[in-house]
Amino acid sequence: MQLRAAQTSHLENTATSARRVSREMEQYAADTSRWRRNLAGGWQGRDASAADVQLAAQEGSYQQAARSYGRLDDVVAFFSNEIDLAKRTLERGVELANSIPGRVGEDGAIQVDWAAFGPRPSAEVVQHAKQRAMEAAQLIRQALMRANSADRQAASALNSLVLPTASNVTPGSSSIPQRGTDPRKVKAWWDGLSPEQRQHLVDTEPKQIGSLDGVPAETRDTANRLAIGREREFIGTRREFLEGRLAELKSPDGSLTSAQAYQMGEVNRELKDLDARKANLDSLDHQLARTDLQGSKERMYLLNYDSAADGQAVISVGNPDTADSIVTYVPGTTADVPGIDGDVNRALWMQADATAADPARKTAAITWLGYDAPDKVFPNAMSSSYYKSAADDLASFQQGLRATHQGPPSINTLMGHSYGASAIGYTANHYNVEVDNLVSVASPGGGAGLWGDASSYQGIRADHVWATRAPDDPIRFVAQIHGNDPIDSDYGGRVFPASPGGHSGYWDGTNVARGHFADIITGHYDRVPRGTQD
């Protein structure tokens, strides 16, 4: 059956592109309308009238294009969603048929493998097999009917669309750069937009703008807070719909067919996912509304977030675009958004400590949980896959800090704790992260291979590759899981002392490491004593 082989990813891309073009056309129409008003106020005569007629026609073309591409987005998104739902129903029917056992013909008919039941199956067995075959056939019919109905509706809607030709409408500079674009190019694109275009993009695509390295921190924070509010609205609306769907599926006597049970399972799984997303958003909102700033006097900036699964978040204490010193802290194993409070506390403490160490310098401290950290020490944290998947985004974020920074270059420090230390090492080994200091705290390996050393990191001097480990930290027993140990004497970096406190006590109030962090972050390297190397 063709439905089983149907792919919808290209449809989703088409819908996204249509949505973007529609919003661009809306902006061009608004810009053209503004130009018409401005001209009308200061230009009279025949030429002015002719220009107004041309601009009015162009404004109308933009408006028609916006409506047409908006409708195209709706139609394609509807069709893609309906086909996905039909495929899931079809697969359930096929699975049910296979379990009878039986097979599904090209026409969707169920052929039961009666030979599998032996020469004399009981009447009860035969009846049960027939009942399951009927349920499977019902699912398959539902799937095919849904797909055919969606096809007819989409075809009818598309035939009624009038899309503009390329000669009528020209795509403009407000097209949002793709993820992975060089942050400096993103910054140049952003600088080339008018204030109205920037505001339009924040209003219409807040999640995309909020996650784009190269967009200023103030704008990203505004966009991400707006995106959280809209995601909350979506979750509430979607939850209400799904709860209604559950009520529809329940029969008065409580009995369920296999098809109903399957559909209820799908609905409950989505409800569980929505609840997890809401919990992640609750955690982020709690951080952004905090008043217990642990001695810091700076406000929070949300520079990126993702509510899916364990969640991801990039939260800055202070504005990095205007800071003299910036530290980006990458947490390790078990870090997630529901439990991000402790990791944000560390950023708050480092911001306050750095300000106390050098009040003349403005410091921003960032918690970068922009990756899926390992959930458990064993077996997850033994794998390099987590930090390897983080490297692209972490490098882009660091380069973005340079691209959007205002004034003289800041002192930038990239710090990782535990598995996060291997993450920063791997990233700095594979990319120029454009930092002044690399600080490994309780590292299980420097991320640059077993032969890696302090000279392995792009653009970072060996005497600015720092490491510390408490004398009672058990990480010392597995310090080469992810590369050479940064504490080793042959590593070539600078080791500084930490007080006893196990694996997680480096930010405790009495730990000497906190003062050393502050001196490194603010560039007072001569204050940092040398620690004991292995």
Stronger pLDDT, 277 or 166, i.e. the higher one: 277
Would you place residue 172 in the very low, low, confident or very high pLDDT band (cuts 50, 70, 90)? very low
Q: Per-residue pLDDT averaged across 62-83, rounded?
A: 79
Q: Which two tokens stand for residue 385?
A: 């896959």
Stronger pLDDT, 219 or 175, i.e. the higher one: 219
pLDDT score at 421: 95
Q: Over 50: is that where the pLDDT of 314 sits?
A: yes
Q: Over 50: is that where the pLDDT of 173 sits?
A: no
- Cβ atoms of 327 and 433 closer than 8 Å: no
Q: Over 50: is that where the pLDDT of 238 sits?
A: yes
Which of 64-78, 132-146, 169-183, 265-279 shows the highest mean pLDDT?
A: 265-279
* Stretch among 49-53, 381-385, 499-503 having the lowest mean pLDDT: 49-53
Rounded to the nearest 5°, which phi and psi values hold at 164? Answer: -70, 155
What is the C-alpha separation between 214 and 209, in angstroms, rounded? 10
Give buried/exposed letters for 469-507 (b at 16+ CB in 10 A, else e).
Answer: bbeebebbeebebbbbbbbbeebebbbbbbeebebebbb
Q: Over 70: is that where the pLDDT of 107 sits?
A: no
Q: Over 60: is that where the pLDDT of 116 sits?
A: yes
Q: Over 70: is that where the pLDDT of 51 sits?
A: no
**Region of residue 309 (left: phi > 0; alpha: psi -120 to 50; beta: else):** left
Tens-place pLDDT, residues 344-379: 999 999 999 999 999 999 999 999 999 999 887 878
Q: Over 50: is that where the pLDDT of 303 sits?
A: yes
pLDDT score at 166: 40
Terminal Cα-to-Cα distance of the chain (whole angstroms): 65
Q: Mean pLDDT across the chain, nearest whole number?
A: 86
Tens-place pLDDT, residues 20-32: 888 888 888 887 7
Three-state SS for 505?
A: coil
pLDDT score at 40: 64
Tens-place pLDDT, residues 422-437: 999 999 999 999 999 9
What is the C-alpha separation between 169 and 373, in angstroms, rounded? 45
Place of tokens 């035969």: 126
Cis peptide before 359 (omega within 30 of 0): no
Would you place residue 281 in the very low, low, confident or very high pLDDT band (cuts 50, 70, 90)? very high
Q: Per-residue pLDDT averaged across 67-90, rounded?
A: 81
Would you place residue 87 in the very low, low, confident or very high pLDDT band (cuts 50, 70, 90)? confident
pLDDT score at 161: 60
pLDDT score at 42: 60
Q: Which two tokens stand for residue 163?
A: 């899309």
pLDDT score at 223: 96
Q: Per-residue pLDDT averaged across 523-531, rounded?
A: 95
Q: Over 80: is that where the pLDDT of 187 sits?
A: yes
Task: Tell me how crowded residue 35 is: count the other CB atoms within 10 A of its CB.
Answer: 15
Q: Per-residue pLDDT averaged across 280-299, rounded?
A: 95
Q: Over 80: is that where the pLDDT of 91 sits?
A: yes
What is the C-alpha separation between 510 and 506, in angstroms, rounded? 9
In this structure, what is the dihedral angle of CA atoms 518, 522, 527, 531, given to the nearest 10 degrees? 50
* Partners of 466 in the β-ladder: 439, 494
- Cβ-proximal residues to 322 (8 Å cutoff; 6+ apart), any chain: 362, 406, 407
pLDDT score at 364: 99
What is the C-alpha separation between 455 and 466, in angstroms, rounded? 12
**Amino acid found at 325:** S
pLDDT score at 473: 93
Would you place residue 8 in the very low, low, confident or very high pLDDT band (cuts 50, 70, 90)? low
Q: Over 50: is that where the pLDDT of 171 sits?
A: no
Q: What percent of the chain has pLDDT over 70?
A: 90
- Cβ-proximal residues to 334 (8 Å cutoff; 6+ apart), any chain: 373, 374, 375, 376
Q: Over 70: is that where the pLDDT of 507 sits?
A: yes
Task: Tell me how crowded residue 15 is: count the other CB atoms within 10 A of its CB.
Answer: 21
Which of 51-65, 150-164, 170-184, 427-441 shows the highest mean pLDDT?
A: 427-441
Tens-place pLDDT, residues 382-409: 788 888 989 999 999 999 999 999 999 9
Would you place residue 7 in the very low, low, confident or very high pLDDT band (cuts 50, 70, 90)? low
pTM of the model: 0.69
Three-state SS for 412?
A: strand
Helical pair 258-288 and 46-98, crossing angle rounded to 10 deg: 130
What is the C-alpha separation between 465 and 276, in angstroms, rounded? 38
Q: Over 70: is that where the pLDDT of 53 sits?
A: no
